[in-house]
Amino acid sequence: DVDEPWWKSAVVYQVYPRSFADSDGDGIGDLRGITAHLDHLADLGVDVLWLSPVYPSPQDDNGYDISDYQDVDPLFGTLDDFDELLAAVHARGMRMIMDLVVNHTSDEHPWFAASRSGRDDPRRDWYWWRPAREGMEPGAPGAEPNNWGSFFSGSAWEFDAATGEYYLHLFSRKQPDLNWENPQVRKAVHAMMRWWLDRGVDGFRMDVVNLLSKDPALPDGIVHEDRRYGDGSPHYTCGPRIHEYLREMRREVFAGRAGTFLTVGEMPGVTVDEARLFTDPARGEVDMVFQFEHVGLDHGDGKFDPRPLRLTDLKASLGRWQTGLRETGWNSLYWNNHDQPRVVSRFGDDGERYRTRSATMLATVLHLHRGTPYVYQGEELGMANAPFASVEDFRDIESLNHWAEAVGGGADPREVLRGLRATGRDNARTPMQWDASEHAGFTTGTPWIPVNPDHRWVNAAAARADPGSVLHHYRRLIALRHTEPAVVHGDFHMLLADDERVYAFLRRYRDTELLVLGNFTGEAVPVELPEGWRGAELLLGNLPPGGLPDDGPRTAGPRPGPPGDRVVLEPWEARVHRRA
Ligand code: ISL
């Protein structure tokens, strides 16, 4: 194992700065706020902090629209504050990775200002400029260069009257796509990355990095039923030159550098087969990817048309990723990030009775898979979706644009609101809940988005004081990864693939075997144990150490193993058994 990369046994914690901790009372989280709360991360035992964007930005997409790659937005502080944070992270033996957002810049980035200034500007070709569709009046309805829709509703093209052409934006119109075909663009990005590494950062989480290479012909996409725009994704997802770009980046940025780095590529639409290529160490592209299959299983006709998850679908999907990257490559494991609704509301039960139990069950199942787990701020407290009452409560451009387009197109506003409440990204963006005080200890001012009222009972201070809290369970899971080699290196074998209620699998490493069981329902469920697990040690479970109220007395600490070949899992119970 000594030859294995360090990040295989690491756990990453994502901080979304705007919502983590506000040190100056302006209602927006900042770098000094993060520095002041680093012991929370150190106590959890995480190895890496992933910092979502803090660069200067008009904040059209909360910082994923960057106007200067080599500075810090005054909202979040200064470069000095950044250096202090980085030093404090390192002083605690942790590493820090930056968010690298280079599929697009802000339209207020000087590169784009130059590019838009005239058709002959040397930077014109740094972005995707195209004339109106053949034979159509520039700027007229339907004259866009192709039929692609944007991720944030509407066309992916914006007409620029000054030069009479359109520019491509897969996200908001304030996020023009960079043209990676141009070698100068790539060189500029590489130089910027080296600048951050020289400053001491330990790697990058690469935003939508599998969308960098577009088919330069930019062909129309297929228009699915009832849709206004075409689906351009086959023409930009894992496009023709993507592997070349990533290998070049690795070579130009990391080669010959002392230190140990982590790169993780965010890759919507990536398949297992592509991911194996991206993460094959011999190819030198990225260390791991974020795939999206398991967080799309409860989407219907798009993400804002939620439907119930079928557990068998989840097992089939995650199981396929485990198998697909078994020999070559590596998985990242996540339920949550700043784009996803809260997992306890989504796949668990966020009511008072089963919040802790279901959040710890979900954590156990995820963290016992093979791969590198990511914890998103507040997940370790069991933070839940926000009780948004109307569209006025939302801040996110994706949700607001979707509302305008859907309601404008005649959809039932109550249905649209139902979709936003279930999957809107603001669910993940309410402030971190530090304590039970008015604004949850997040700010002394007025938070940019209201705190979740459940912070009165779901908060870090209360969790710290309660050994049965979600927080302490995450701490135990992270510690287990650091002490039990089978968690990191064990192979993965799915059990009960057809069971709609229980998630079960084996991990095997040398002489150690782990059996993981998770009840995905609020009812007691009997389970037939596989051969030979009778009486096996319970390494970790999520029932209260003192036992259930009407369950008879139990001693604290590990409970004895299951008595027979059949066990009954309590509602939302999780167990990790070990035998050697
Ligand atoms: O949540 C989504 C919209 O349905 C995702 O498709 C999301 O946009 C996608 O995961 C890309 O996310 C990343 O890039 C976006 C940014 O808005 C997200 O916050 C970021 O994580 C554009 O930079």
Q: What are the CA-CA distances from residue 313 to residues 255, 256, 498, 547 (Å)?
A: 40, 43, 9, 32
My answer on whether 73 and 162 are in the same domain is no
Give CA 511 to chain center in angstroms: 34
My answer on whether 84 and 194 are in the same domain is yes
The DSSP result for 402-443, as a single string, is HHHHHHHTT--HHHHHHHHHHH-GGGGTSPP--SSSTTTTS-
Residue type, 398: E
Closest residue CA from atom 19 of ligand 1: 339
Residue 1, domain member (yes or no): no
My answer on whether 280 and 382 are in the same domain is yes
Residue 204, domain member (yes or no): yes
State the distance from the centre of ligand 1 to the C-alpha of 374, rounded, in angstroms.
17
Residue 393, domain member (yes or no): no
State the distance from the centre of ligand 1 to the C-alpha of 383, rounded, in angstroms.
21
State the distance from the centre of ligand 1 to the C-alpha of 462, rounded, in angstroms.
32
**Three-state DSSP state, 99:** strand
Helices 397-408, 413-423: axis angle to 10 degrees equals 160
My answer on whether 266 and 333 are in the same domain is yes
My answer on whether 359 and 222 are in the same domain is yes
**Pick the catalytic residue: 47, 266, 274, 398?**
266
As given in the structure block, the two tokens for residue 43 are: 């106590």
Residue type, 115: S
Q: How far apart are CA 569 and CA 244, in angstroms?
A: 49
Closest residue CA from atom 23 of ligand 1: 64
Q: How far apart are CA 462 and CA 564, in angstroms?
A: 37
Dihedral sign for Cα 71, 76, 82, 84, please. positive
Q: What does the DSSP 8-state code read for residue 254?
A: I
State the distance from the centre of ligand 1 to the C-alpha of 538, rounded, in angstroms.
39
Helices 183-199, 242-249: axis angle to 10 degrees equals 40
As given in the structure block, the two tokens for residue 295 are: 């967080």
Q: Which helix (H) or strand (E) holds 276?
A: helix 272-279
My answer on whether 531 and 572 are in the same domain is yes
ipTM above 0.85, yes or no: yes
State the distance from the centre of ligand 1 to the C-alpha of 339, rounded, in angstroms.
6
Closest residue CA from atom 15 of ligand 1: 64
Nearest-Å Rg of the Cα atoms of the chain is 24
| Residue 170 Cα: closest atom of ligand 1 | 22
| Residue 303 Cα: closest atom of ligand 1 | 4
My answer on whether 329 and 220 are in the same domain is yes
**Pick the catalytic residue: 47, 73, 207, 339?**
207
The answer to whether the CB of 183 falls within 8 A of the CB of 252 is no
My answer on whether 159 and 207 are in the same domain is no
DSSP E strands in 111-222: the ranges are 129-130, 157-160, 165-168, 203-206
My answer on whether 163 and 194 are in the same domain is no
Residue 278, domain member (yes or no): yes
The answer to whether 301 is a known catalytic residue is: no
Residue 181, domain member (yes or no): no
Residue 478, domain member (yes or no): no
State the distance from the centre of ligand 1 to the C-alpha of 61, rounded, in angstroms.
9
My answer on whether 132 and 84 are in the same domain is no
CATH number of 83's domain = 3.20.20.80
My answer on whether 146 and 203 are in the same domain is no
19, 64, 67, 109: residue to mutate for ligand 1 pocket, most atoms within 8 A of CB: 64
* Domains identified in the chain, total number: 3
* β-bridge pairing 12-15 and 48-51: parallel
| Residue 61 Cα: closest atom of ligand 1 | 17
Structural domain for 537, as ranges: 489-579
Closest residue CA from atom 8 of ligand 1: 151
As given in the structure block, the two tokens for residue 322 are: 């485990």
Closest residue CA from atom 5 of ligand 1: 339
CATH number of 499's domain = 2.60.40.1180
Q: How far apart are CA 110 and CA 122, in angstroms?
A: 13
The answer to whether 523 is a known catalytic residue is: no
Maximum Cα interatomic distance, the chain, rounded to a whole number of Å: 81
Residues in contact with ligand 1 by the CB-under-6-Å rule are 61, 64, 101, 151, 171, 207-208, 266, 268, 303, 338-339, 398, 425
Dihedral sign for Cα 210, 212, 216, 222, please. positive
The answer to whether the CB of 239 falls within 8 A of the CB of 212 is yes
My answer on whether 55 and 18 are in the same domain is yes
State the distance from the centre of ligand 1 to the C-alpha of 429, rounded, in angstroms.
13
Q: Which residues pair with 575 in a beta bridge?
A: 517, 541
CATH number of 121's domain = 3.90.400.10
Helices 272-279, 311-324: axis angle to 10 degrees equals 40
Q: How far apart are CA 465 and CA 471, in angstroms?
A: 10
pLDDT tens over the chain, length 580 residues: 668 999 999 999 999 999 999 999 999 999 999 999 999 999 999 999 999 999 999 999 999 999 999 999 999 999 999 999 999 999 999 999 999 999 999 999 999 999 999 999 999 999 999 999 999 999 999 999 999 999 999 999 999 999 999 999 999 999 999 999 999 999 999 999 999 999 999 999 999 999 999 999 999 999 998 889 999 999 999 999 999 999 999 999 999 998 899 999 999 999 999 999 999 999 999 999 999 999 999 999 999 999 999 999 999 999 999 999 999 999 999 999 999 999 999 999 999 999 999 999 999 999 999 999 999 999 999 999 999 999 999 999 999 999 999 999 999 999 999 999 999 999 999 999 999 999 999 999 999 999 999 999 999 999 999 999 999 999 999 999 999 999 999 999 999 999 999 999 999 999 999 999 999 999 999 999 998 998 899 999 999 866 555 443 334 444 445 455 889 999 999 999 999 8
Residue 164, domain member (yes or no): yes
Closest residue CA from atom 10 of ligand 1: 268
Dihedral sign for Cα 223, 226, 228, 231, please. negative
Residue 210, domain member (yes or no): yes
Exposed / middle / buried, residue 418 (Cβ in 10 Å: 0-12, 13-18, 19+): middle
